[in-house]
Amino acid sequence: MTQKAFVRTEMLPEQDPPPTEAGIVGWIRENLFSGWLNTLLTLLAIGVIYYVLSGLLPWIFQSVWNAGSLDECREIMKATWGETHGHACWAVIKDRWLQLLYGFYPPYPVYPDANFGEAPVGHWLPAYFRPNLALVLLFAALAPVLFDRVPRKMLVFTAIYPFVMPWLMWGGSVWTPVGIAAGFAILFAVIRYGQVAMGFLLAVIVGVLAALLWWGLIMGYVTAGLDQIVPIAIPSVESREFGGFMLAILIGVVAIGLSLPIGIVLALGRRSDLLIIKSLSVGFIELIRGVPLITLLFVASVLLNYFMPPGTDFDIIMRVMIMVTVFASAYTAEVIRGGLAALPKGQYEGADSLGLDYWQAQRLIIMPQALKISIPGIVSTFIGVFKDTTLVSIIGLLDPIGLSQGIRANQEWNGIYWELFAFIALLFFVTCFGMSRYSMWLERKLQKGH
């Protein structure tokens, strides 16, 4: 009887996969033409993409960059491409891009008492040196917070930056930000060294009162005296000269930077067992979340002055920063509260079993995990807040949208529309896309096992 072998006794030589199943051809077959429905949808998508690009690419690349007005743009278009339509006039961006970025902020520092025709003080500096330096220092201050490979010693500069940035942007005596920083130093010193004797809550109250006493009554005399002894100052710039994308970044950075710690405190307060703290936190969050941001901006612009002492000059940009920060804090608090609620009860019990007190448990175990869970929601809130800074144009601040309206009202560029808003959209897209990419990178980095 003949026996048949069912097990191969030798290995077959390796062969290349079929050309239609590997490489770019295989990917296209699997993802774009795997069936009649996918084939139909792919062809429709190709048609839509072709239709959009056939109109968009000539508008971008067959455009005019050198012209002094919209009429001159149209004359150049007619001479170059005839009566065809769909050509952009990017000359308006070339003519006004500095205004869209910086508003009416002076390019060089100029003292108010300088005579007309004099060379501006510091004219040897690059144009817009102060806002550009503030932006570069912002990245340096954020680096140790955003990336763990940056030396931890840089956190000292991160703590100093909130006092350096306003001085660079608004100018004036250097002793004013130093005095403000001294108030915070008093606050933290009282909390750190007084909580042993007074308890944490009483130490916080005493520290806040001491800081308010310093800022309200003592700081003015001390900084005035120091300014007389060692006068160090840079030219002042009024808030009405701020504008453009610089103003959006300024409001957005301050609101994002302050709303995160305030949101953490509000989220903890909402979950507190103390009735007063919980009630105040819930009331604040629900009140702010129940009111549109534009209403808060109108309050900052018009109504807030009615609650200030007569003669008080409360800077409009500072008022807007406060309201945008308050708005962002309420939404951030709810996102973080969701992260806290998502943690299993065993994490709290584990912290108790280690003998950690409330703040140690929050700092070492609870809050890091809650913030990790909340990263997508937090970044989404920050992106929304940054885009909402365009609402300040409604209350008269000259952000990019407000400036675009002024440019369109100018006789030279009356009738221009898409080019201005495309440029503004590009600025916001680059910034928001960067925040989104960073959040995705951070999520991948914090994945378990990495």
| 190-242 pLDDT per residue, tens | 888 887 777 777 888 888 999 999 998 899 899 999 989 988 888 888 888 99
Q: Which residue has the higher pLDDT, 126 or 113?
A: 126
Residue 361: is its pLDDT beyond 50? yes
pLDDT band at 311 (very low <50, low <70, confident <90, very high): low
- 233 pairs with which residues across the strands? 173
pLDDT of residue 55: 83
Structure tokens at 310: 């007569």
User: 324: Cβ–Cβ under 8 A, 6 or more apart, which residues?
Assistant: 251, 254, 255, 293, 296, 297, 385, 388, 389
Average pLDDT of the chain to the nearest whole number? 86
CATH class of 97-112+121-171+241-445: mainly alpha
As a whole number, mean pLDDT of residues 311-319 equals 79
**Do the Cβ atoms of 438 and 431 come closer than 8 Å?**
no
What is the C-alpha separation between 235 and 243, in angstroms, rounded?
18
Which residues, in sequence order, are CB contacts of 55 under 8 Å at separation 6+?
Answer: 86
The answer to pTM > 0.75 is: yes
**Chain centroid, CA 206 distance in Å:** 33
Q: What sections of 241-298 are H helices per DSSP?
A: 244-270, 275-289, 293-298
Rounded-to-integer distance, Cα 90 and Cα 419, Å? 6
Residue ranges of the domains in the chain?
A: 23-94, 97-112+121-171+241-445, 172-234
Q: Is the pLDDT of residue 426 over 90?
A: yes
Phi-psi region of 28 (alpha: psi -120 to 50; beta: other; left: phi over 0): alpha
Residue 417 has pLDDT above 90, yes or no: no
251-296 pLDDT, tens digit per residue, is: 999 999 999 999 999 999 998 888 888 999 999 999 999 999 998 8
Q: Give residue 309's pLDDT band: very low, low, confident or very high (50, 70, 90).
A: low
Closest CA to 179 of 222, 236, 227: 222
State pLDDT tens for residues 344-356.
888 888 888 888 8
